[in-house]
Amino acid sequence: MKMTFEDMQQFLQEHFPQGAQYGELLELADAQATMRLPVGDQHLRPGGTVSGPAMMGLADVTVYAALLSRIGPVALAVTTNLNINFLRKPRSGADIIARATMLKVGKSLGVGEVSIFSDGDPEPVAHATMTYAIPPAKQGEHK
Amino acid sequence: MKMTFEDMQQFLQEHFPQGAQYGELLELADAQATMRLPVGDQHLRPGGTVSGPAMMGLADVTVYAALLSRIGPVALAVTTNLNINFLRKPRSGADIIARATMLKVGKSLGVGEVSIFSDGDPEPVAHATMTYAIPPAKQGEHK
Amino acid sequence: MKMTFEDMQQFLQEHFPQGAQYGELLELADAQATMRLPVGDQHLRPGGTVSGPAMMGLADVTVYAALLSRIGPVALAVTTNLNINFLRKPRSGADIIARATMLKVGKSLGVGEVSIFSDGDPEPVAHATMTYAIPPAKQGEHK
Amino acid sequence: MKMTFEDMQQFLQEHFPQGAQYGELLELADAQATMRLPVGDQHLRPGGTVSGPAMMGLADVTVYAALLSRIGPVALAVTTNLNINFLRKPRSGADIIARATMLKVGKSLGVGEVSIFSDGDPEPVAHATMTYAIPPAKQGEHK
């Protein structure tokens, strides 16, 4: 594990200055991360459920944190593919929680999966897989 | 074609009251739609490029418009799957444009594809395919 | 659970008469299935590794078995979407094993995920998610 | 364009010795390819329609040909992601045709899309997008 919980919190705040728009870190382990999105009006669709883009944004940043926990703070890793299945209507008024695990962390590609839940509900509302391209390491970096 | 350009504009404004957050309609044809997202600070990642969730939100609403142009104003059609490939860095400061075409409009599922461009640039910055579940028609609806 | 292990074995043999081409059932639980593909020459790419289509075929039938364990023998359920990430080179000469779990079984759609392994190796060689359209139940069926 | 039609035919025969199992080349242009799968018993599902794995195999090799037409005969390019939507039932007894176009050919990744048709039918039976990892060029190769 290349970053502590506190390292990651600070990294996410610096690189995602919109802050809570992208969620807060709850747990971090090697190649795993859990984040919460405190749901606000800007995340809602008519009817009061969380919008797809809000879920995709949270999925993206949570897998990113899981990847960086393994390779260290490589700010330039970029998402190349995201595939998401929307499974159930999120609960109205509930925050959403994302739990991500890397399936592979290679030299040039990282692939992770993430399940998204309405806070307090055991059935996932969405599930995504994601690929990140990892830029070539400069000397001294993420060997 | 079940909706005119003006019908669709009005429908989108009613169902996406956040309005410009989701983009404006440029063109509508049978099972095809083009939309523009006027890019603002809330859509940007550090470095000035458009964020992934902003592109995914535009992709989603543009395929939705392409679908509804064929089946009429079925507000309850829901996205069940989205797969997006991020191809190039969007141009800093440029709006993004999405062009969607339905590949299939069946009784219970619609599948569409969408290419996303930086305004003024011929190479796509992203490409997505998307599936919508269409609720069973009530009597008199989208036969 | 709507089908026993023996029910499922018999169902797969009847509906996939090519038999071992699609794999053999190892375990069945509610909304979960494990299958093995005894790898033969027809499944190999030059170099001796299992081909992508062989993995996709095994993924498909394993999720199908997981779905049917929940809804019963609905032969007409059809795959509508498959997304697969190839993670590592399969081991030369080893059979492949697929473990599938449904993420959702709704009235008209089932979504599952499946990890594929080289026999004896704990790291997955591929991971897929899949959607099945479930035909409307006739009276008396899978309520 | 780095390979002629005849170069590509020969390359595919050498690298896919199972030959017609993977299809025959019909057309080749820069970053584009069209192939046909002469459908035989081994490609059929009960009921006489072409199986999903047969379509996925044809999709894969056709995008591969489209990629190599741009970068030259790089045998080690590997598929990392495939996403396929099955749209309509293929016509019983008809060959299937795949038309592929690259959306991006970068230094380390190529992304393409492919539509699959029953021969003689204008509506696609399936549509896929695919990502290939391109191994680093050795000196003198695909600059």
Q: What is the DSSP letter of A44?
A: B
Give the fold, CATH level 3, of A5-133.
Thiol Ester Dehydrase; Chain A (3.10.129)
| Mean pLDDT score, C21-48 | 87
Q: Which residues pair with B8 in a beta bridge?
A: none
List of chain B residues whose C-beta atoms are within 8 Å of the C-beta of residue C80? 109, 111, 131
Q: Which amino acid is at C10?
A: Q
Q: What is the pLDDT of residue A18?
A: 58
**Cross-chain Cβ contact B103/D124 below 8 Å:** yes
Q: Is C26 strand, coil or helix? A: strand
Query: How does DSSP assign C98-117, residue by residue?
Result: EEEEEEEE-SSEEEEEEEEE
Mode of pairing for the β-strands spanning D126-133 and D109-118: antiparallel
**What integer is the mean pLDDT of B16-20?**
59
To the nearest whole number, what is the mean pLDDT of chain C?
A: 89
**Sign of torsion over alpha carbons A16, A17, A19, A21:** negative
Closest CA to B4 of B60, B51, B68, B52: B68
Lowest mean pLDDT among B138-142, C48-52, D100-104: B138-142
Higher pLDDT pick, C17 / C24: C24
Q: How many CB atoms lie within 10 A of CB B119?
A: 15
Q: Do the bridges between strand B96-105 and strand B109-118 make them parallel or antiparallel, or are there none, so unpaired?
A: antiparallel
Predicted confidence at residue B97, as pLDDT, reads 98
Mean pLDDT of B111-133: 97
> Which residues of D are less than 8 Å from A109 in CB distance?
80, 133
Q: Rounded to an integer, what distance in angstroms lies between the CA atom of residue B55 and that of residue C23?
A: 40
Please tell me the distance in Å from C83's CA to the nearest CA on chain A: 7
Mean pLDDT of chain B: 89
Identify the band that residue B20 occupies on the pLDDT scale cut at 50, 70 and 90. low
Q: Which of D63, D87, D103, D131 to mutate to test the interface with B (most CBs of B within 10 A)?
A: D103
How far out from the chain centre does Cα A52 lie? 14
pLDDT in tens, B79-113: 999 999 999 999 988 999 999 999 999 999 999 99
Residues of B in contact with D88 (CB under 8 A): 104
The whole-number mean pLDDT for each consecutive block of 10 residues of chain D, a chain of 143 residues, reads: 94 72 90 94 77 91 96 89 96 94 96 97 97 77 44
Residue B141 banded pLDDT, cuts 50, 70, 90: very low
Q: D40 vs chain A: nearest CA distance in angstroms?
A: 33
Q: Is residue B15 predicted with pLDDT exceeding 90?
A: no
Are A133 and D109 a contacting pair at CB < 8 A?
A: yes
For residue C142, pLDDT over 60 is answered with no
C142 or B2, higher pLDDT: B2
pLDDT at D46: 67
Q: How does pLDDT run across C56-107, given as a tens digit for each residue?
A: 999 999 999 999 999 999 878 899 999 999 999 999 889 999 999 999 999 9
pLDDT band at B40 (very low <50, low <70, confident <90, very high): confident
First to last CA, chain A: 12
CB neighbour class for C52 (10 Å; exposed up to 12, middle 13-18, buried from 19) = buried
Taking the CA of residue C140 and the nearest CA in chain A, the distance in Å comes to: 26
Angle at which helix B52-71 crosses helix B5-15, to 10 degrees, equals 130
- Compute the distance between CA of residue D36 and CA of residue D6 in angstroms, rounded to an integer: 16
Instruction: Give the pLDDT score at D20.
Output: 54
Q: What is the pLDDT at residue A138? A: 59
pLDDT value, residue C138 = 59
Q: What is the mean pLDDT of residues A54-71?
A: 94
- Residue spans of the domains in chain B: they are 5-133
Q: What are phi and psi of C64, to 5 degrees?
A: -60, -45
Count the neighbouring beta carbons within 10 Å of the beta carbon of residue A11.
Answer: 18
**Distance of residue D121 Cα from the nearest chain B Cα, in angstroms:** 14
User: Does residue B67 have a pLDDT over 60?
Assistant: yes
CA distance C123 to chain A (A): 8
Residue pair B142/B71 in contact (Cβ under 8 Å)? The answer is: yes
3-state secondary structure labels for all residues of chain B? CCCCHHHHHHHHHHHCCCHHHCCEEEEEECCEEEEEECCCHHHECCCCCECHHHHHHHHHHHHHHHHHHHHCCCCCCEEEEEEEEECCCCCCCCCEEEEEEEEEECCCEEEEEEEEEECCCCCEEEEEEEEEECCCCCCCCCC
Number of H-type helices and E-type strands within chain D: 2, 6
Spell out which residues of chain C touch residue A126, defining contact as CB-CB under 8 Å. none
Q: Phi-psi category of D31—alpha, beta or left, where left has phi over 0 and alpha has psi -120 to 50?
A: left
Residues in chain C: 143
Inter-chain residue contact D18 with C81, CB threshold 8 Å: no
Contact (Cβ atoms closer than 8 angstroms) between residue B112 and residue B66: yes
**Could you tell me which chain A residue has the CA closest to the CA of B57?**
A53
Contact at CB, D84 and C80, closer than 8 angstroms = no
- Residue A141's pLDDT is 46
Which strand (E) or helix (H) includes residue C124? none
Q: Residue A66: its pLDDT value, please?
A: 97
Residue A21: CB partners within 8 Å, gap ≥ 6?
A42, A57, B42
Q: Which of C63, C104, C117, C121 to mutate to test the interface with A (most CBs of A within 10 A)?
A: C104
Q: Chain A: residue nearest C83 by CA? A: A83
CA B34 to chain centre: 8
Q: Which residues contact A31 (CB under 8 A, 6 or more apart)?
A: A66, A67, A69, A70, A101, A102, A105, A112
